[in-house]
Structure 1
Amino acid sequence: MIREDLREKRLFFDGGMGTLLQEKGLKAGELPEIWNLEHSEEVISIHQAYIEAGSDIILTNTFGANALKFHDGVYSLEEITKTAVAHGKEAVRRSAGGRNVYVALDVGPTGKLLKPMGDLAFEEAYEAFREVMQYGEEAGADLIHIETMSDTYEIKAAVLAAKENTNLPVFVTAVFDERKKLLTGADVPAFVSLLEGLRVDALGINCGMGPEQMIPILEELQRYSSTPVIVKPNAGLPKQRDGETVFDVEPDAFAQTMRKIAGSGAAVIGGCCGTTPEHIRAMTEVCLEIPYEPAGKKNLTMVSSYGKTVIFGEESKIIGERINPTGKKKFKQALVERDMDYILREGIRQEDNGAHILDVNVGLPDIDEVSMMKEAVTALQGVTSLPLQIDTVDPRAMEEALRVYNGKPMVNSVSGKQESMDAVFPLIQKYGGVVVGLTLDETGIPETADGRVEIAERILKEAEKYGIEKKDIVIDVLAMTVSSEPQGAIVTLEALRRVRRELGVHTVLGVSNISFGLPFRPVINANFYTLALYNGLSAGIINPSSEDMMKSYDAYHALMGLDENCSRYVAKYGAKAAAQKEAAQREAAQKAAAQETAKSLGNAVPGGEKGAEMLSGELTLKTAIERGLKEEAPQMADALLKTEQPLEIINTYLIPALDHVGKGFEEGTVFLPQLLMSADAAKAAFEVLKAKIASEESGTEKKEKIILATVKGDIHDIGKNIVKVLLENYSFDVIDLGKDVDPELILQTAKEQEVRLVGLSALMTTTVASMEETIRLLKKELPECKIMVGGAVLNQEYADMIGADFYGKDAMKSVYYAQELLK
């Protein structure tokens, strides 16, 4: 029913729940979900007020209800969830007056970071969501609304749990910052591409901002989304007034901005923190008559990772081909030995050399491809932000990789064989992805362009049966080696041109296939690549480390006006001879030094030659930390100990690497996963150095202690854990008191440990009062102790009002404050 409504009219959500419960007596630190059982009428009355204000959708009081939070308490997750849905249904019965009002099961984040950034496994998150969603459907919920999300990986776990275990429509909203990014780095198109691939019913933004601040993000959502867009702002920014949390946008002002948002095309609008029935009433009154148009189709071919989106268009993309065992003896050996470091280094090298997407193929007869593909995809997305192309003919390996992939990948491939389409298209339908269609069928590869175009048309037609749009198919017309097929290149180029122009589909090609069996293959490959680009190649699967191929790519884009003012070409190739000579001399010196270190590492690491290979002119300890290579970093640190003192290594390699990544995080060029992986690598290296420092008693300064805690009543510790990892890497001794921490415990610990800095975290509006209580207690009993605060509901003004000494807008700012204060 709600899906049909979305095609015909704009829908109105309700507003905040927590602040209204506080007005009714919810105490600081008290769990709002418990009120479903202990204060039923109060919860029902809030639902009724929103229905009477004009809401078409009301959210159950289950934002924090999941199996991680309610597993062994007085009340079970089942009774909390089912009672919450029943309250929504009762409010509809009492107040809807025959109007169609939907009860949405409200699902918030777990409060934890997923691996590899945190300690929560993807499938554990999935299970936590699955349980509450099944209870919600059993109780009669009309849809599932997943909201206030900050990590695309957690979003994927939640959506899959909903899709695989219920038949309910799914809405998803996330928290974007002013840079239009999620906490873990996803931009708007990455968010949209993931959720459209997973086939949610509506997507958008909630929390974190007032309505005016959300308008630029709405514009981005509208640019990329073919799915109805949701906008649910806060009532402005939180403030303290007479000891209470209030928000600074009044109902009439809120409604006028929401009128602009509705006029800009938002399909579902409502409120989040601080909004009340008065805000919703004012909003519905001014927005009811605004004309509604369903979201228009955006014909964009997009693939994404957790933090980067690649959109196919006029400029051709580079798909790195080097993570593939075909013709690569060393890579085959690495796969047999499960040498993941080799794969990671190959991925990093291709990213540095200009790849936009990384092809991942680990198929060998001697290995378990299913487990290896899953391991490789998981590891690669921990060290590179590039989207991946899952390259396998094994449907089981394909599904395992699709399930754990954090984003919308390319999938290589499906063919015109019915068996292939029957196996692959259901997976694309379920998980999303841009699938490569090979122009071959049961009779083989057609010798003519007509035959290949015909198979491409057949693939597109079959994909439609699964709801897979043309934009999510790219066609590989297959390059046949000219040494055995003299007309192979001509046919391929004609087929490329026709698929792109006649079918309107993007194209991909394994370029180097053209030259098998010929001498000086790079000459053939580079020239064929240029011809393919001119004939409509959207993405070439090439070796980005090949100088000939990259010259062809760069020159083509400059010649065809795709490199504005030839700026990229000039930047890359315009250095003067003297500068080139200087760089070459510097590179030679660095390589010689690295080789010396490599020799030392080769002696220090089991498997000597492999250890030396790690540092053969490519990696130093600093770059290993910057790239998050936590297996190699400690080995490199151990090798350096043969010639350098541990403190010298820390100051020369560890701290500069962390500072470099931290600066990138501040500037928005490095995202949270990279920041944390880098911190893990530094920590692993430091463990090696710590033993040496302890044995030498080298007069190191006593480490300063810092307390971190999530305040009473709040179980979300993402921000706290991020700050902890970074502070430890900057040599602070962190006392982590965990989550839901009583103010008295924080005070007692600060006194006993003689702590000069306490960090407090809160995610929910309802727990900011606990933060203020903790600050007040510390200021009274321990005035010399400084307090820094952070969390999604905070801002500088609010932090000042509750008496904090410092507001950490992000994790790195908290580190810098600690350094300034304590060092």
Structure 2
Amino acid sequence: LIGACCGSTPAHIKAMGEALSSREPAPLPEQEGPLATRLASRSRAVTIGAEKLPVLIGERINPSARKAVAEALRQQNWGFITEEGALQLDAGALLLDLNTGLAGGDETQLLPEGIRQLQMSLDCPLVLDCTNPAALEKGLQEFQGKALINSVNGDKKSLNSILPLAKRYGAAVLGLTLNESGIPAKAEERLDIAKEIVEAAEYYGLPREDIIIDCLVLTAATSPELALETVRAIRLVKEHLGVNTVLGLSNVSHGLPQRSWLNAAFLSLALGAGLDAAIANPLDNRIRETMTAGALLTGRDFGARNYLEQAGRLVSPANSPINKDVDLDDPGQALQKAIFNGQQETVIPLVQKLLEKSDVLSVISEGIIPALETIGQHFARGEAYLPQLILAGDTAKKAFTYLKDNFPMPKTAQGGTVVIGTVKGDIHDIGKNIVSALLENHGFRVIDLGKSVPAEAFLEAARREKADVVALSALMTTTMVEMPQVIKLLRQELPGVKVIVGGAVVTAEYAQEIGADGYGADAVEAVQVVRGFSPALKS
């Protein structure tokens, strides 16, 4: 991909084209997995779909729904229009729907001018809410980026006039599941129209990822039973066509009081069916809250980061000791930051870079453990939450696994077998993972049973693996009571096996009370205690 900046000339661009005319363009890689619809302004891109957070599209610049907007368009009061756009972006909208279809107005003049005014003041992709081909073409010529055309439908006239414009100007299209006969009542019939729109768009050369389907919701005031047909249609479109979906959400509450109640409730249902974007009012708190919670509950908010951020409870990197004065050229500090923030994609390259100048144990003790200890401290103080704790643990586990797979300890160095796990009912394993990794790197053979391990499973593994030591971990007072049950069973069946306990709620006094052989206040102390059980590794 080549291009030129504002100081260039037509002659320069022509010369570049001629110089490269003999070269074949590199083939673009095909998308794998869920389709991603990518829209852009001058310098900002927004992705819809691909299992990312559902996108909120601001609906408020619409003269048919708001008299103030109609008057502003009539008076060419673009300051009001851009302020409306700014308010929506500040409230969380990522795209703005622009409708200039003013009764008695000239849309061929209003749409391009509205685009010009908005993109001078605001930097976001636009949804061009217009079905007039002449106005659309002028608007697409004006827009600097990749727009979404709202809309095309199953009527042949609409398909043949709008789709060529989308192809010519590189826009994506929003397809409405209606045709010359209106909006079908049944979800299967809406799916049929969606198929026709997708086939026509592909015929005109649009890639499938640039097609978004709106299954259309009617007002619950007249047809409340049809709301669930829309939800079902979304599910069918996702299942059979794989394209991304959007809804003009506010239609469901048209003509009814307390519209926010219905809009938020219906949004929740639609998100559960696979909705990727909603055209709605970003200034409505219920809508924003439902988008945030719905993204988490439908598995689109990895590590609950967006939910915690919107709730004001996400630990900021600036507030973390491991991120203070971080030198990103220092891979040790960068690794700590990546683990703390759950950035799994960067962990392995950072570990590899650290290994260029450090040994495995140093990577663990200087890069991995400090981050886990810090996130654990935040969690204990109520400054971090369980999703962050789990995500950091999973990220550290990825680093541990890489080290274990690529730098195994020689068998001659092994000095005993340790069976380790968190006790029944406890799903927290960060501390256990640290102890496990350190034991392996001190020459022990470690059998990690994972989380929420019943007493019988500890016994079975200890017997099968001929364990020298069983290590029990618990983070909660409600689960630490499982420890004496495990110890009692081991004493009855395998009296020669040593038992060590640890975890955030466990104390040395409690360890002694339940008959444990040892207690580790932290990972380093736990390893020292286990080494004490094994004379061969005391030196």
Q: TM-score range by the shorter chain?
A: 0.5 to 0.7
Q: Within 5 Å, which residues of 2 pair with 1:752-771?
A: none
- Tell me the secondary structure at the aligned position of residue 158 of structure 2: helix
What per-residue deviation string (whole Å, max 9, x for no partner) do you get for residues 437-476 of structure 1?
A: 1111111111111111001111111112211121111001
Aligned to 2:226: 488
Decide which of 204, 207, 212 is 1:469's aligned counterpart. Answer: 207
Does 2:416 align with 1:520? no
- Where structure 2 has 5 or more consecutive residues not aligned to the other structure, the ranges are 315-539
AA matched with 2:268:
T
Aligned to 1:434: 172
Aligned to 2:310: 572
What per-residue deviation string (whole Å, max 9, x for no partner) do you get for residues 642-682 of structure 1?
A: xxxxxxxxxxxxxxxxxxxxxxxxxxxxxxxxxxxxxxxxx
Aligned to 2:116: 378
* Cα contact 1:478–1:510 (8 A) shared by 2: yes
What per-residue deviation string (whole Å, max 9, x for no partner) do you get for residues 289-348 of structure 1?
A: xxxxx4432353211111111112222111111111122111111010000001100111
* Cα contact 2:41–2:126 (8 A) shared by 1: yes
Q: Distance in 2 between matches of 1:301 and 1:465?
A: 18
- Structure 1 residue 558: Cα displacement: 2.7
AA matched with 1:405:
F
Decide which of 292, 301, 305 is 2:37's aligned counterpart. Answer: 301
- Structure 1 residue 373: Cα displacement: 0.7
Q: Within 5 Å, which residues of 2 pair with 1:329-348?
A: 329-348=67-86
- Structure 1 residue 567: Cα displacement: 3.3
Aligned to 1:57: none
- Structure 1 residue 132: Cα displacement: 7.2
* Cα contact 1:322–1:359 (8 A) shared by 2: yes
- Structure 1 residue 571: Cα displacement: 3.2
Q: Distance in 1 between matches of 2:309 and 2:193?
A: 42
* Cα contact 2:178–2:184 (8 A) shared by 1: yes
Aligned to 1:111: 7
- Tell me the secondary structure at the aligned position of residue 530 of structure 1: helix
Decide which of 494, 498, 507 is 2:245's aligned counterpart. Answer: 507
- Structure 1 residue 563: Cα displacement: 2.8
- Tell me the secondary structure at the aligned position of residue 56 of structure 2: strand
Q: Distance in 2 between matches of 1:307 and 1:133?
A: 22
Does 2:132 align with 1:394? yes
* Cα contact 2:149–2:171 (8 A) shared by 1: yes
Over 3 Å counting, the alpha-carbon distance change for 1:559 and 1:462 in structure 2 is closer
Q: Distance in 1 between matches of 2:6 and 2:235?
A: 49
* Cα contact 2:4–2:13 (8 A) shared by 1: no
Aligned to 1:225: none
What percent of counterpart residues are identical? Answer: 37
AA matched with 1:297:
E
Over 3 Å counting, the alpha-carbon distance change for 1:418 and 1:144 in structure 2 is farther
Aligned to 1:327: 65
Over 3 Å counting, the alpha-carbon distance change for 1:109 and 1:523 in structure 2 is closer
Aligned to 1:318: 56
Q: Distance in 2 between matches of 1:295 and 1:108?
A: 21
Q: Distance in 1 between matches of 2:74 and 2:5?
A: 39
- Structure 1 residue 561: Cα displacement: 3.7
Does 2:175 align with 1:457? no
Q: Within 5 Å, which residues of 2 pair with 1:91-106?
A: none
- Tell me the secondary structure at the aligned position of residue 540 of structure 1: strand
- Structure 1 residue 107: Cα displacement: 8.4
Q: Distance in 2 between matches of 1:446 and 1:520?
A: 27
AA matched with 2:214:
D
Over 3 Å counting, the alpha-carbon distance change for 1:170 and 1:319 in structure 2 is farther
* Cα contact 1:107–1:144 (8 A) shared by 2: no
Q: Distance in 1 between matches of 2:311 and 2:12?
A: 57
Q: Distance in 2 between matches of 1:301 and 1:477?
A: 17
- Structure 1 residue 111: Cα displacement: 1.5
What per-residue deviation string (whole Å, max 9, x for no partner) do you get for residues 688-723 of structure 1?
A: xxxxxxxxxxxxxxxxxxxxxxxxxxxxxxxxxxxx
Q: Distance in 2 between matches of 1:370 and 1:301?
A: 27
Q: Once superposed, what is the RMSD of the aligned Cα atoms?
A: 2.5
Q: Distance in 1 between matches of 2:287 and 2:167?
A: 35
Does 2:142 align with 1:409? no
AA matched with 1:491:
E
Q: Distance in 1 between matches of 2:4 and 2:18?
A: 11
AA matched with 1:111:
G
Q: Distance in 1 between matches of 2:22 and 2:256?
A: 54
- Structure 1 residue 488: Cα displacement: 1.6
AA matched with 2:43:
G
* Cα contact 2:153–2:179 (8 A) shared by 1: yes
- Structure 1 residue 382: Cα displacement: 1.5
Aligned to 1:557: 295
Over 3 Å counting, the alpha-carbon distance change for 1:459 and 1:378 in structure 2 is same
What per-residue deviation string (whole Å, max 9, x for no partner) do you get for residues 172-222 of structure 1?
A: xxxxxxxxxxxxxxxxxxxxxxxxxxxxx84xxxxxxxxxxxxxxxxxxxx
Q: Distance in 1 between matches of 2:22 and 2:175?
A: 29
- Tell me the secondary structure at the aligned position of residue 445 of structure 1: coil
Q: Distance in 2 between matches of 1:295 and 1:420?
A: 30
- Structure 1 residue 110: Cα displacement: 5.1
- Structure 1 residue 417: Cα displacement: 0.5
AA matched with 1:443:
S
* Cα contact 1:336–1:366 (8 A) shared by 2: no
AA matched with 1:499:
V
* Cα contact 2:271–2:298 (8 A) shared by 1: no
* Cα contact 1:557–1:563 (8 A) shared by 2: yes
- Structure 1 residue 133: Cα displacement: 7.2
AA matched with 1:304:
A
Q: Distance in 2 between matches of 1:145 and 1:435?
A: 34
Q: Distance in 1 between matches of 2:74 and 2:243?
A: 38
Q: Distance in 2 between matches of 1:555 and 1:515?
A: 21
- Tell me the secondary structure at the aligned position of residue 436 of structure 1: strand
- Structure 1 residue 560: Cα displacement: 3.2
AA matched with 2:47:
I
Q: Distance in 1 between matches of 2:3 and 2:251?
A: 49
**Higher mean displacement: 560-569 or 374-383:** 560-569
Aligned to 1:420: 158
- Tell me the secondary structure at the aligned position of residue 212 of structure 2: strand
Q: TM-score, normalised by structure 2?
A: 0.54
Q: Distance in 1 between matches of 2:173 and 2:3?
A: 31
Over 3 Å counting, the alpha-carbon distance change for 1:144 and 1:362 in structure 2 is farther
Q: Distance in 1 between matches of 2:3 and 2:58?
A: 39
- Structure 1 residue 570: Cα displacement: 2.9
Q: Distance in 1 between matches of 2:95 and 2:273?
A: 21
Q: TM-score, normalised by structure 1?
A: 0.36
Q: Distance in 1 between matches of 2:252 and 2:111?
A: 27
- Structure 1 residue 108: Cα displacement: 5.3
- Tell me the secondary structure at the aligned position of residue 162 of structure 2: helix
AA matched with 1:329:
K
- Structure 1 residue 491: Cα displacement: 0.8
AA matched with 2:124:
L
Aligned to 1:444: 182
- Structure 1 residue 433: Cα displacement: 1.1
How many residues are paired up?
A: 309
What per-residue deviation string (whole Å, max 9, x for no partner) do you get for residues 392-429 of structure 1?
A: 01111111111111111111011100000111011011
